[in-house]
Structure 1
């Protein structure tokens, strides 16, 4: 279910447009309020991750929403079940009333690109019978963030002025069920995480997600991949020295492997 992003899906298949950023989307902000979050994976295993509060949400991996900040106690549980796919390959969305027109235009453009390149459909919600949907909200901070997969009922993508069309495509990738590429279990065969260059309170965001699977070959070009650098220091080093570091962290659109992953998750 996870493509080049580590999919939390035990499927036989195996199963943030911004230009590459020097840090993961919004990651340069200090996180004074951290939370211990337990992820329960499809195989029943658990993995503890350090979450953090930002722009009113508890997040992991800088842009995956766990819950609203006031709704999670100090020991929260993040349940990820990759069987929860969007019905009819369709993600209905609405806008909160305070979302600026410029961001609305980017969402429409992102939705058009997703529909033109994958089997999935991102479209305005037209009926209350569409019980499962995304509400696009606006924050005055720096967050471009989303929940992971179809969680049921109304869920959130929160966007700031800095969120480009490509970053919004990235966030819809999370909404559709994709994790970040560099968390897939085979990543150590392709990259080295330079832990010394990553702040201690950010290191858990680079951990492999136990119980996940990768789809296809490791994809440096995935829109779900973190940038190579964190605050100007190399954080992800390809084992193959010929790999261009600028390939990591692109926010232009889904890579061919991203497209294949989503199409495997959401066949016509």
Structure 2
């Protein structure tokens, strides 16, 4: 579950499967799919979960890649890249929040006191382990995250934009600890707001996962786009299956078969919402250049640490034996061929 960062510049999507040359119909369908991800389809998260229980709350939220809110400018860039197949870079503003401080406000009447406290507690726990800070919006703040509780799901804009004004972060209301108010899901949406896309869309993902395009729901293949290395950075950290930012194996499946599988031995859960890993924490620290985030000692700590939320909202540090992904055994291609035929 690697959270690679939106690197201060560009958004050119490199889809890893479809052909380079696109027909006019393909281009139009791609644009329609991106635009549709911004619309309210009239479904609640509860209804989507009933229809697709194999997906978790953030993946089931009806946006691009499940929970990413797109801007007009970003869609235009993505469609142009898709149509040309080029790796052009589209200059964009720095996506880090200035002074490593995200400005926020709760939408009026969106959450009760217990729900607000739980959300704020997640933000506090992230601040305790990184140099990222959160500050309540004041009258002079034009750019800020508005935290809302619409029933449609859990989703957010990616990163800071000086031209955006209100940055969306929605968490469908529920009891603290459940649904979108799961501790790790809240952290996941804040990772988007702080500048991260999903792990499996990083540029070198095809070394670690295989996308089963034939099992993906019609019109949903864009959710498996990947980004060029000029767009995102892995920050010198390994690809991580266990990251809270990684897709699950059956997200957007049309037939109950996997849409994504690992190319290396992995016995854990993909798409988990139970823990925040050490690499999750230190990717955030590196993205914001926190003191000490690039030291060798930090790498070793990240490699052997999990942060486990408690029912009370604490984040308990656990030391584990968690080998780097590069130490795992590479599967033989024949194994995948056998699985695909079953």
Q: Does 1:64 align with 2:68?
A: yes
- Provide Cα deviations, 1:52-96, integer angstroms capped at 9, x if missing partner: 2343899421111114xxxx59x7557783623111211121111
- The structure with the largest alpha-carbon Rg is 2
CA contact (8 A) 1:228 1:236 kept: yes
1: distance between equivalents of 2:102 and 2:111? 21
SS of residue matched to 1:229: coil
1: distance between equivalents of 2:238 and 2:36? 29
1: distance between equivalents of 2:223 and 2:4? 13
Aligned with residue 234 of structure 1, among 244, 249, 258: 258
CA contact (8 A) 2:6 2:159 kept: no
RMSD, matched Cα: 3.0
Whose strand proportion is higher, 1 or 2? 1
CA contact (8 A) 2:38 2:69 kept: no
* 2:38 alignment counterpart: 53
- Provide Cα deviations, 1:13-56, integer angstroms capped at 9, x if missing partner: xxxxxxxxxxxxxxxxxxxxx8718xxxxxxxxxx967523438
* 1:117 alignment counterpart: 129
Aligned with residue 190 of structure 2, among 159, 172, 181: 172
Whose helix proportion is higher, 1 or 2? 2
TM-score (norm 2): 0.58
The alpha-carbon distance between structure 1 residues 10 and 148, as it changes in their structure 2 partners (threshold 3 A), is closer
1: distance between equivalents of 2:186 and 2:284? 16
Q: Does 1:94 align with 2:105?
A: yes
2: distance between equivalents of 1:182 and 1:76? 23
* 2:94 alignment counterpart: 83
* 2:3 alignment counterpart: 5
Task: Out of 103-112 and 174-183, give the one that drifted further.
Answer: 103-112
2: distance between equivalents of 1:200 and 1:7? 29
CA contact (8 A) 1:55 1:139 kept: no
Aligned with residue 198 of structure 1, among 181, 197, 216: 216
Runs (4 or more) in structure 1 with deviation over 3 Å come to: 48-51, 53-59, 75-82
CA contact (8 A) 1:120 1:263 kept: yes
TM-score (norm 1): 0.73
Q: Which runs of 5+ in 2 are unaligned?
A: 10-28, 42-60, 79-89, 174-178, 291-342
1: distance between equivalents of 2:124 and 2:130? 10
CA contact (8 A) 1:228 1:245 kept: no
1: distance between equivalents of 2:91 and 2:34? 13
CA contact (8 A) 2:5 2:287 kept: no
CA contact (8 A) 2:94 2:161 kept: no
* 1:15 alignment counterpart: none
Structure with the greater relative contact order (CA < 8 A, sep ≥ 6): 1 or 2? 1
SS of residue matched to 2:102: strand
Q: Which runs of 5+ in 1 are unaligned?
A: 12-33, 38-47
- Provide Cα deviations, 1:175-226, integer angstroms capped at 9, x if missing partner: 1100100000101111111222211221111121233332311111211111
C-alpha displacement of 1:140: 2.1
C-alpha displacement of 1:117: 2.1
